[in-house]
Chains A and B, each alone.
Chain A
Amino acid sequence: MSTFNEEICVPIRSDADIVVARQKGRALAVQLGFSGSDPTVIAAAISEVARNIVNHAKQGEIVLTGVHESSRLGIQVVARDEGPGIANIEQAMQYGYSSGKGMGVGLPGAKWLMDAFDIKSQIGKGTRVTMQKWVR
């Protein structure tokens, strides 16, 4: 898999940045050829992982890139932070689980919305969520 556009990097420090990140993600998705409900679905996934940065890690960034792999085109969304990390990823991925007062829908929901989803986290080091969706 290789990337082909300049990385779009959106710093996430407040709830207003969540909106900026998902709007840039939507614009890139449209530019890449996503249509129908896909741009909105991608924007929703970005919104959830960006909100997790604000709520659980205070600050971080969303990196958006166009990707291609064996002639198919897609979008890659990376959400990364140097926050507290996640002790139990399996638990964090459970629908309805929240360590705070959230709905516990963000991580499992983002996974459902996208085609590929990977989460890596280290206590005290931070969290990185990498997601892709392919143009149909």
Chain B
Amino acid sequence: MHVPILKQGDYLIATIQSVLSDADLLQLRDDLADRVGQFRSRGVIIDVTVLDVIDSFPTRTLRGVAHMLRLRGANTVIVGIQPDVAFAMVQLGLTLEGVGTALDLEEGLAFLNAKTKRAGGVVARTGGTAPSSLSKSPPDARTRRGNRPLQ
């Protein structure tokens, strides 16, 4: 099952569309590594909302993806881990140590904006170049709710 990767400014958004096998996850890792290089992306959002289970293999793979992309200059944030999935992860003793997590896409974007700003990098879509009527960026989510690392 192929995971589409969308380019959105300095960021990449990979939205998992169906349950993935271990091989699919490794494919996603390799695709992200390629795209981050190709587009010089500063941040990557992986939306795992539809994943039915995140057990040891996906956990290790997601951690590996985040560490690898970090070395390539991009921050990763995992969004959409479902409550039951998180509960089973906790029972398995699994953590996403060192990986950004956020509740949903909007908070994931806020997380990346905060990260890239802190690093003195480009801040995505907050400049005034785009006509405001065309600007799709949400009102700054950081001012409403903080990012919540899962664990």
Contact = CB atoms under 8 A, between A and B. Distances in A.
Interface residues of B, number: 23
A100 B21 CA distance: 20
From A44, A95, A112, name the one whose CB has the most chain B CB atoms within 10 angstroms. Answer: A44
Contact of B55 (A16, A26, A47): A47
Interface in B1-49: 19-23
B83 A47 contact: no
A22 interface: yes
A114 to B, nearest CB: 10
A36 B84 CA distance: 8
A44 B83 contact: no
Q: Is the interface of B mostly helix, strand, loop or mixed?
A: helix
Contacts of A103: 56-57, 59-60, 94
Interface in B87-127: 87-89, 91-94
Contacts of B84: 36-37, 39-41
B140 interface: no
A51 interface: yes
Contact of B92 (A16, A23, A36, A44): A44
A112 B87 CA distance: 12
Interface string A73-110: 00000000000000000000001000000110110110
A115 interface: no
Interface residues of A, number: 26
Nearest to A103: B56
B150 interface: no
A1 to B, nearest CB: 24
B58 to A, nearest CB: 9
A113 B91 contact: yes
B88 A41 contact: yes
A7 interface: no
Interface string A7-25: 0000000011011001100
Contacts of A48: 55-56, 92
Nearest to B23: A15
B138 to A, nearest CB: 30
A53 interface: no
A108 B89 CA distance: 13
A40 B85 contact: yes
B56 A23 contact: no
A43 interface: yes
Nearest to A36: B84
A41 B91 contact: yes
Interface of A: 15-16, 18-19, 22-23, 26, 36-37, 39-41, 43-44, 47-48, 51, 95, 102-103, 105-106, 108-109, 112-113
